[in-house]
Structure 1
Amino acid sequence: MNKNPALSEKELRALLRANKQTLKAMTLPQALRLMAAFYQDARDYDVIQAEGDGLVVYEDITNRGGGTRFEIGIVRLFCLPHDQAATGPQPALRLRLCYKLDMGIVTELMAEDTWSYDCWSVPDMARLLESVEKEPAYRLLHDTIPAEVNINLEETTYQPAEKHPRPDAQQNWWGVWDQF
C-alpha cells in the first residue's frame, strides 16, 4: 500500500538524521543531494500515476517577516489521486534555504533573471540538477551557509493539470492558482 504524502516531512527528516546532517550547517549542494536522494529512493507515495510526483528548484527574493532574503527552494510536489483532491490543495514538501542579501548577491544575482526548474520523473532529475548547477546563484552560494534553512510540508494550490510553469510564471508558480 502506498503512503500518504503527509508522511514525507517525517521521512525527509529521518533521512537527514541518517546522513548525520543538520539544517543549521547545510549548504546548497548538500540540500540538492538530500532532496535528490529522497526523490529517487522514496517513491511509494499515494499519487496519480502519470507525473504525480515532481521536484522543483527555484530562486526568489522573499520577505517572510524576518527581512528580505534571497531564497532557493527545493520542493517535492505530490499530485493526489482524483478521489482524494480533485482540484483542491496539493501537498508539497519544501526545503528552503534563505540567504541574507550581501554585496555578492546584490551585484551578481539581482540583475539575473529568476528561474525555476522542474522534473516529473527520476530519469529527468539529472537534467534538473545540471540546470541548477549552471546557474550563477548555485556557483555563488555553493559553499555559503544560509541564514535560515527549514523543511515544511505545505498545502499548495498549484493545479495538477498545470505541472510545468508558463514562460511568464513567477519562480514559485507551484504555489498559486493558475489564472486562465
Structure 2
Amino acid sequence: MHAHDIEKSLRSFVKLKNRSLRELTAVDVLDLATEHWLSTDVEGVRPERGDGLVAYFEVLNRGRGTLFEFGVNRIMTFARSDDDYIPWLPAVKVRMSVAFKANLVVFQLGPVACNFMCWNKKSAQDFKEEIMASAPFRLVAAWSPHSAGVASEECTAPWGDPNHPTRAMSWAIA
C-alpha cells in the first residue's frame, strides 16, 4: 500500500469495525489506530523507523475553541534512493484523534504535551499499555468526546533519531 492511501484505508477500517468517527472514544482511537498499523504495510518507507506510531496529548485550538486532544499519528518516512544527506526527509503523517473540552482538570495535570512512540510492531502492546497507564489517558478514557477526526498531511522527519535533538518529537505530533 502507498503512504498516501493510508488515510482512506484507515477510514474504511473504522467502518469495517462498525464504528463511526462521531462515536469514537480515546480507547477506540488507540485500539483502532494500532490495529490498523499492525495490519498494513507501506511501500517505499525507510527500513528502520520508517513506519511508526506517535501518540500525543495536547491542548490545541483547531478553530473550535480550546480542546484537549488525544491522537495517534502514523508517521511514514520515505527511503532515499541516493546517498546525499539531507537533514529532513519527506514523510506522511496520518492523524486519528479525539478531542475533549479543556477544563480545569486538564490544566491541573501540569504540562500536558506529551508523546509516546513505537517504531517496532512487536512492541505495539507495550506501547498501548504505556499510554493506558498515563494520567492523561486515564482521565480522558471516561470522558465523552467533543469531536474526532482522521486527516493526513505531508511533513518532514529527521534523518536519524526521530527524537530530534532540538525539535524533540514536536515535528510528529498534533
TM-score tier (shorter): 0.7 to 0.9
1:94 aligns with 2:95: yes
Tell me the SS of whatever aligns to 1:157: strand
Question: 2: CA distance between counterparts of 1:35 and 1:141?
Answer: 17
Which is further off, 5-14 or 95-104? 95-104
Q: Secondary structure at the match of 1:24?
A: helix
**Alpha-carbon deviation of 1:130?**
1.2
Match for 2:59 among 37, 51, 61?
61
Aligned length: 170
Gaps of 5+ in 2: none
Whole-angstrom distance in 1 between the partners of 2:149 and 2:41: 22
User: For the residues of structure 2 that align with 1:123 and 1:132, how far apart are their CA atoms?
Assistant: 16
The structure that is strand-richer by fraction is 2
Q: Is the 8 A contact 2:59 2:112 kept in 1?
A: no
Question: How far apart are 1:14 and its partner, in Å?
Answer: 0.7
Q: CA deviation at 1:83?
A: 3.2
The Cα shift of 1:171 comes to 5.9
TM-score with structure 1 length normalisation?
0.84
After superposing on structure 2, the runs of 4+ consecutive aligned residues of structure 1 that deviate more than 6 Å are none
Task: State the partner residue of 1:22.
Answer: 20
Residues 59 and 171, structure 1, Cα contact 8 Å, conserved in 2: no
Tell me which amino acid in the other structure corresponds to 2:123.
D
Match of 1:114 in 2: 113
Taking only the aligned residue pairs, the percentage that are identical comes to 22
Are 2:101 and 1:103 equivalent residues in the alignment? no
Q: 1:28 to 1:165 in 2, by over 3 A?
A: farther
- Cα RMSD between the aligned structures? 2.3
Structure 1: gaps of 5 or more residues: none
Distance across 1 between alignment mates of 2:77 and 2:54: 13
1:169 positional shift: 5.0
Distance 1:129 1:6, change over 3 A: same
Instruction: Label 1:143 to 1:175 Cα distance change in 2 as closer, same or farther (>3 A).
Output: closer
